[in-house]
Amino acid sequence: MKLHELVVQLGNELGIQNAKLNEQKVCNLTIGDNLVITIEEDETGDAAYLSSRLCFIPQMEEQRIALFDVLMEAHSFGLATGDAYFSATPATGRVIITRRFDLETITWQKFKEGIEAFARVVQYWLEAINSGLIYNQKSVASNQDGSQAEAWVQI
């Protein structure tokens, strides 16, 4: 399916009027009160990217290292990110999360499920970051043998 068709159908499903790609092939959707997901098509038209801003890169080195440690651990194999990935750049000063879809094989159902899953993952990370969980606390996870293992976050 073409991305512009998927975006229009998504807008109809969510009750968002005029959901469509702009001239740059980008659409910003606001879901709920504060969750903004950017949908954009690559130059070739073969892939779509979902992205969302999570936070500014912390200025304090200790917080920046704590944040990046957690994000890289969560990033491993896409297990705590729903196959999305984190990135950060000093040029924008932001940490974002992105997920890619192959437009040649995507169906409406897979796109819809992918958007829903991405929104849940983004919401989780926004709450974890904004609550200070990442910077201040460790949670405890169980290993397969039942012993306790320290971990920063669990999804």
Domain ranges of the chain: 3-151
3-151: CATH topology:
Yope Regulator; Chain: A, (3.30.1460)
- Alpha-carbon distance of 30 to 17, in angstroms, equals 12
pLDDT at 140: 37
Could you write out the DSSP letters of every residue in 110-135? HHHHHHHHHHHHHHHHHHHHHTTHHH
Distances (CA, A) of 55 to 10, 38, 88, 112, 117: 26, 15, 10, 25, 20
pLDDT at 155: 34
Give 69's Cβ-side CA count (13 Å radius).
Answer: 13
Say what percent of the chain tops pLDDT 90. Answer: 60
Kindly report the pTM of this predicted structure. 0.82
Instruction: Check whether 83 has a pLDDT greater than 90.
Output: no
Instruction: Check whether 145 has a pLDDT greater than 80.
Output: no
